[in-house]
Structure 1
Amino acid sequence: MNTIRRLLAVAATATLSTAACAQDSVVLKVHHFLPAGSYAQQQFIQPWCDKIAKDSAGKLKCQIYPSMQLGGTPGQLVDQVKDGVADVVWTLSGYTAGRFPLMEVFELPFMMQSPEATSKALWEYVNTYAMAEFKDVKPIALHVHGDGVFHMRDKPVRSMADLKGLKVRAPTRQTNKFLAALGATPVAMPVPQVSEALSKGVIDGAVVPYEVVPSVKIQEIVKYHSETDPAEPAFYTSTFMFVMNKDKYASLSPELKKVVDANSGLALSGQIGKVFLAADAEGKKLTAKNTTNVIPAAELANWKKAGQPLVDGWIADVSAKGANGKQLYDAARALIAKHQAAQ
């Protein structure tokens, strides 16, 4: 009888040990809206997954679901990670218009010049002033992309006059407002819809960074690419979030939480910005057969005047909701300048 009890005890211990090991092995469902071959997945999401797997000795792994393979639309990604449909998502804050109003300051005209510095500034700004907007998720990284570029079907953009009456896609409500101020007819849509909309003539052009070009094969659909003077801040950028389900993070062992924490934050945000800048250079190579022009600083001075009401409007809107809009705007610009100087 004692022998049997000992054997049962050993078996029970082995079962508990096996269960503990199984709990130590965690697979994160990572969901995003671009194809698996996109620069975002290849140069940022997959490397992050590889890093946490290495740092956790294989206990923390990812299953990546590109191109909205878990269902839904890009605008639903934030709710998907909040509700646990996905464990981690990467998306634009602008795909859920109005949900991140304080963060939106970085999407105002002519805020960003260096994606790396501005991404670091964005992380610091949100953690200082806007964490209430992220109360439902755990931020891993926040970042921006490189300079926005006009990709046009039939004619280049050299001045505000060239935009008059044209239907141009933009990603966020601030960029849509800015295009309207410049004389265009803005059309809001996520990146995956851009190719079809251009091909069918639903839109005359789109503003996206060069990094997006291979994902939607935009170089095969348009003839012209219009950049802004590289010495000037970008006429627009978008803010992105790489965020985790709070309950999933809470369920991790202290050891695995440390791995996630060590691969989150300001340095990662800046690194992603740097990756997106490098991806712009690669994407631009694909447009070589088309015609590219640069909109000069003298013309952009007119654009800045046209965009100032957007800045004033954002300050007024957030102030009406109880925040100090001018203080937040100044803080965002100061943080960008600080991280730019530190590069």
Structure 2
Amino acid sequence: MKLRRIATAVLSTTVLASGMVSAQTVFTVSSWVPPAHTLSMAQKSWCDLLEKESAGRMKCNILPKGVAAAPGTFDAVRDGLADISYTVDGYTPGRFINTQLAEFPFLGDSATATSVAYQRIYSKYFAPLGEHRGVKTLAVFTHGPGIIFTTKQAVTSAADVAKLKFRIGGGNINELSRAMGWNTTLKPAPESFEMLSTGVMDGTFFPDESVASFKLSMVRHATTFPGGLYNTSFVFMMNEDKYKALSAQDKAVVDKISGETAARIFGEGWDRVDASSRELQKTQGVARIAADQAFVQAVKDKQAALENKWSDAAQAKGLKDPKAVLAEFRAEIAKVK
């Protein structure tokens, strides 16, 4: 027996020394929307890719419930309550400036195109400025074009919107709404069903996806804009200490599937659900209209001042020639396939 124990110990030491056995890294992953939501599904797809690309050395433990509400998620990941999650930059007003570029109206009709283009601009201009300091940024992305949804009446003009109460998700649309004189309240997306079903709000600003994801069966009208009334900047992130503790080999795997790869996973997932939600809206009887030229121009007139304001604030944060960066972003969106 003694000889057997010695042999076992020698074999174990040899195996460890040869690198045949290595500890598995398990990431605690949090999501503040339901598991079937496209955000949760895209995050899981990225986790599956992580496990595959690392040959099982890294995997995710996806929690059944988020460790924090959406506005607190950035700090939760920074502080180690979760290793991986995502959040909306605009849920904490005034904290992130450069990323507001991805929230402007009329950017495009595809979440994939805006997400990939945004990631390219972020990597080139924003990442070096460290606005998301405290976490390891895995990717940035956007949802599909923002739409005005209402429960009882259609809105065909800026004046129509001003007569109603709306939930919004923050960011540039918050400032644009104030400039337009609209009655809006900043609330996280998961609160929409209760606010609309109880009549506390008359409508919400959302991408198509959300009508299906949040089961907004009370929605009856939709007003669309070319390229969207607004968009939303998301950050997909990892706890910085968790990333730093990885081996060089595993860091390389994380880096390989981050950036554009991750942005495309989130964007393509959103485009698919936007499309399926539009089909659902048909069966739900949602009447869909396009904003006319006067309505679009009214938004453009107010947005122009907001883009000037953003440019000044971004320049103060260290971004050189913000308007040129915005023009490059719009051009990049048009190039992404």
TM-score normalized with structure 1 length: 0.88
Residue in structure 1 matched with residue 33 of structure 2 by the alignment: 34
What is the DSSP-based 3-state SS (H/G/I as helix, E as strand, rest coil) of the residue aligned with 2:327?
helix
Number of equivalent positions:
332
TM-aligned CA distance change 1:17 to 1:97, over 3 Å: farther
Cα displacement (A) at 1:8:
4.2
The separation in 1 between residues aligned to 2:273 and 2:223, in whole angstroms, is 18
Q: Does 1:138 align with 2:136?
A: yes
Q: Is 2:115–2:263's contact at 8 Å kept on the other side of the alignment?
A: yes
- The equivalences for 1:199-218 within 5 A come to 199-218=197-216
| Structure 1 residues 281-301: Cα deviation after superposition (integer angstroms, max 9, x where no partner) | 111222112222221344312
| Structure 1 residues 258-309: Cα deviation after superposition (integer angstroms, max 9, x where no partner) | 2211111123313422321221011122211222222134431222112222
Amino acid paired to 2:224 = E
Residue in structure 1 matched with residue 312 of structure 2 by the alignment: 316
Amino acid paired to 1:41 = S
Q: Is 1:24–1:253's contact at 8 Å kept on the other side of the alignment?
A: no
Residue in structure 2 matched with residue 170 of structure 1 by the alignment: 168
| Structure 1 residues 228-277: Cα deviation after superposition (integer angstroms, max 9, x where no partner) | 2xxx3222000111111111111122222222111111233134223212
Residue in structure 2 matched with residue 224 of structure 1 by the alignment: 221
Amino acid paired to 1:323 = G
| Structure 1 residues 61-95: Cα deviation after superposition (integer angstroms, max 9, x where no partner) | 11123552x2x321110011111110101111111
Residue in structure 2 matched with residue 254 of structure 1 by the alignment: 248
Cα displacement (A) at 1:23:
5.2
Residue in structure 2 matched with residue 109 of structure 1 by the alignment: 105
TM-score normalized with structure 2 length: 0.90
Q: Is 2:47–2:60's contact at 8 Å kept on the other side of the alignment?
A: yes
Q: Does 1:180 align with 2:178?
A: yes
What is the DSSP-based 3-state SS (H/G/I as helix, E as strand, rest coil) of the residue aligned with 2:281?
coil
- The equivalences for 1:121-132 within 5 A come to 121-131=117-127, 132=130
Q: Does 1:159 align with 2:157?
A: yes
Residue in structure 2 matched with residue 240 of structure 1 by the alignment: 234
Structure 1, unaligned runs of 5 or more: none
Q: Is 1:143–1:272's contact at 8 Å kept on the other side of the alignment?
A: yes
The separation in 1 between residues aligned to 2:153 and 2:286, in whole angstroms, is 11
The separation in 2 between residues aligned to 1:66 and 1:153, in whole angstroms, is 31
Residue in structure 2 matched with residue 279 of structure 1 by the alignment: 273
Range that drifts further, 131-140 or 6-15 = 6-15
The separation in 1 between residues aligned to 2:262 and 2:289, in whole angstroms, is 33
The separation in 2 between residues aligned to 1:222 and 1:314, in whole angstroms, is 33
The separation in 1 between residues aligned to 2:80 and 2:229, in whole angstroms, is 36
The separation in 1 between residues aligned to 2:116 and 2:307, in whole angstroms, is 21
| Structure 1 residues 170-199: Cα deviation after superposition (integer angstroms, max 9, x where no partner) | 111321121223332110000011111111
The separation in 2 between residues aligned to 1:86 and 1:186, in whole angstroms, is 31
Residue in structure 1 matched with residue 73 of structure 2 by the alignment: 77
TM-aligned CA distance change 1:234 to 1:275, over 3 Å: same
Residue in structure 1 matched with residue 326 of structure 2 by the alignment: 332
Residue in structure 1 matched with residue 298 of structure 2 by the alignment: 302
Structure 2, unaligned runs of 5 or more: none
